[in-house]
A and B are shown apart, each in its own frame.
Chain A
Amino acid sequence: MMRLLAPSWWTLAWDRFWFAPGSPRNLAAARITFATYSLWVLLSRNLPEMSGLPPVFWSQVGASARWRYLDFPGHRDLERVLVCITAIALLGAIVGVLPRFSCFVSGLLLYHLAPLESLIWIPHPYARGLTISVIALLTLSFSPCGDCWALLRPRRDQPPAQSGDYTWPIRLLQLYLVQIYFFSGYAKVMVVGWKWASASNIRSWMLRCTQNEQIRVFHALGTWIAARPLACWCVGIGTLLFEFGLVTALFSKWARWLLVPLVAVFHLGILLSMNLVFLNVPQLLVFANWDVLTAWFKSLVRPQPSREQKNALREAS
């Protein structure tokens, strides 16, 4: 207990968390993952066309919101060019051509482009798929993310095999993702209170999402849960436990193994019961150990030597 009060313990814990020696592969994998995901979402939207909407749709957008993102109506062609530049930068980040610069350019441009999706009525486009991408790509650009798996590596001759410089960006990216769940749980408790998890509340959400014909694609699971108070209690309590508990994935390997795959199951359940999509799931690959995955993949690809070859090698040695 006393050691928790000692500043040196906190300094050591801080350093251990952010600067433990890490592999450049994990950082490179994060770069490829976030860039690929962002490219997928970017090309799935018609963001430039939003700038070309009739001016009446933009009439209620305040000056502060427009200047915040430098988003103005009537510049569809310019926005198209910017989308092209962003896509090229994201491709550069994926294959590793000027990876840090590519991440920086794409992160900045996504900060400008992503709000176009909802700016006509709300200035913060969270939950639309590109929120984490903006800060993640910029964070990657501030780190040596091009030291591995890059077509054109920076001039540095031989990057170190393990370094703390490869760890803090990964930790930040993991933190951004965990914060989604933690703040989501925190907001529920702060705004609604612990009764958010009550059966009646969950039942109302399930019914609202399955009765609304404009979003009703799946309805069997939602109505099944709504009809069972015990299932509603389980969903409510389970959701809060999960959202607060995911923080442990930052500190514990076992929690990572257990909880991170559960995130995908969690979102599948939300999709099937409430018709709400959470696109960020692929970004959870940032929790994987890519050294282990690479070694495993190589062992699969590399042909095992036959018994005769092994004998020959043994005799030769």
Chain B
Amino acid sequence: MESLLPRWFCTTGQCSLTSSNDRTVKTNIVSTFCFIVFVTFGLLVAVLGGFLSATARRRLTNIFLLVVLFISFGAGLTQHNLWPFSSWPVLAYPAPTDANYPPLPRIMGVDVSGNEYDIDYRAWRPLGLEELLSWIKLHFARLDPAARERVGAYLLGRSNVARVQALSPAGLPYPNRWFGPLTAPTHMLHPAIWSHPESVPHNSFVGLRVYEETWNLEERTHSPQKVTRVLVFDYRQ
């Protein structure tokens, strides 16, 4: 869901990059501490409880419950995500209009003729598409050119492997072959555009392009193709 959201989202106010990093370190430390406290008090209830009288055991359990309430409500009410005690800021952001909305990355494969193709989200496994796009949005611009080339080579390799698999009779495999279509989906649904061999590009990709897409919500309701694309990365093999 965060990949839909503004680049530096911060539920307690506006955040700069530096303050965001500082906040992340502090949150990591506090979250670890809270988790250790949770496990420690839980173990005390589980282990010591057996040796105590009913009254003492009840008192110890009460302390554990108070600790859990303190941590979980602390995370939620202050809106600091102390995972696994989450603050659950689900869609808790201003409406994503074109004014406050950052561009969305889109990855396209390029064949030897220069034709561009969308790539199925399953090509990026083990990366989920929303994780990959969010990573690109947050970190890709900060990488040096050599690192970008490495990313491009890796993604191109993944997309070509997936293209070959999609063209095979078995098609693109599910992450768990025993579960098949019952495999748990990711938080965001994605269209499986390479489900049929005829929709899969038959030529190998020789390059990848990453675009940033923006559009005006109202304009696009009338004209679905009205999208502005800016090329931010062009990788060639």
Contacts and interface: CB of A to CB of B under 8 A. Distances in A.
Interface of A: 14, 18-19, 40-41, 43-47, 49-50, 52-54, 56-57, 59-60, 62, 64-65, 67-68, 100, 108, 111, 114-115, 117-118, 120-129, 131-132, 134-135, 138-139, 141-143, 164, 168, 172, 175-176, 179-184, 186-188, 190-192, 196, 200-201, 204-205, 207-209, 211-218, 223, 226, 271, 275-279
Contact of B184 (A44, A135, A187): A44
B68 A131 contact: no
A44 B90 contact: no
A43 B92 contact: no
16 contacts: A46-B175, A56-B147, A60-B139, A64-B28, A111-B84, A120-B131, A121-B134, A139-B68, A184-B89, A187-B79, A191-B79, A192-B94, A204-B96, A212-B4, A277-B187, A279-B184
A226 B96 CA distance: 14
Given A64-B25, A121-B135, A179-B72, A214 B121 contact: yes
A124 B81 contact: yes
B15 interface: no
Interface in B1-29: 1-2, 4, 11, 21, 24-25, 27-29
B61 interface: yes
B142 A60 contact: yes
B70 interface: no
Interface string B27-45: 1110110010011001101
Contacts of A196: 92
Nearest to B81: A124
A43 B176 contact: yes
B121 A192 contact: no
A187 B186 contact: no
A18 to B, nearest CB: 6
Contacts of A181: 88
A67 B188 CA distance: 28
A138 B39 contact: yes
A226 to B, nearest CB: 8
Given A175-B72, A191-B11, A46 B28 contact: no
Contact of A201 (B24, B32, B95, B218): B95
B224 interface: yes
Given A45-B175, A64-B25, A217-B190, A142 B45 contact: yes
Interface in B181-203: 183-191
B221 interface: yes
Given A60-B138, A192-B94, A168 B187 contact: no
A162 B15 CA distance: 51
Nearest to B90: A184
B104 interface: yes
A215 B190 contact: yes
Contact of A59 (B21, B95, B147): B147
Size range of the interface on B? 35 or more
B90 A207 contact: no
Interface of B: 1-2, 4, 11, 21, 24-25, 27-29, 31-32, 35, 38-39, 42-43, 45-46, 58, 61-62, 64-65, 68, 72-73, 75-77, 79, 81-97, 101, 104, 106, 118, 121, 125-131, 133-135, 138-139, 142-143, 147, 150-151, 154, 175-176, 178-179, 183-191, 215, 217-218, 220-221, 224
B76 A44 contact: no
Contact of B31 (A52, A68, A275, A276): A68
Contact of B76 (A117, A186, A275): A186
B188 to A, nearest CB: 5
B76 A179 contact: yes
Nearest to B130: A215
B83 A124 contact: yes
Contacts of B143: 56, 59
Contacts of A120: 127, 131, 135, 139
Given A126-B86, A276-B187, A188 B91 contact: yes
Contacts of B106: 214
B83 A131 contact: yes
Given A43-B176, A277-B186, 18 more contacts: A59-B139, A59-B143, A60-B138, A65-B28, A117-B128, A126-B87, A128-B187, A131-B86, A135-B85, A138-B42, A141-B46, A183-B89, A187-B89, A188-B91, A205-B91, A208-B96, A211-B220, A217-B190
Given A131-B86, A168-B61, A201-B95, A214 B35 contact: no
Contacts of B58: 19, 164
Given A54-B154, A138-B38, A141-B46, A276 B1 contact: yes
Contacts of A53: 126-127
Given A40-B184, A120-B131, A127 B1 contact: yes
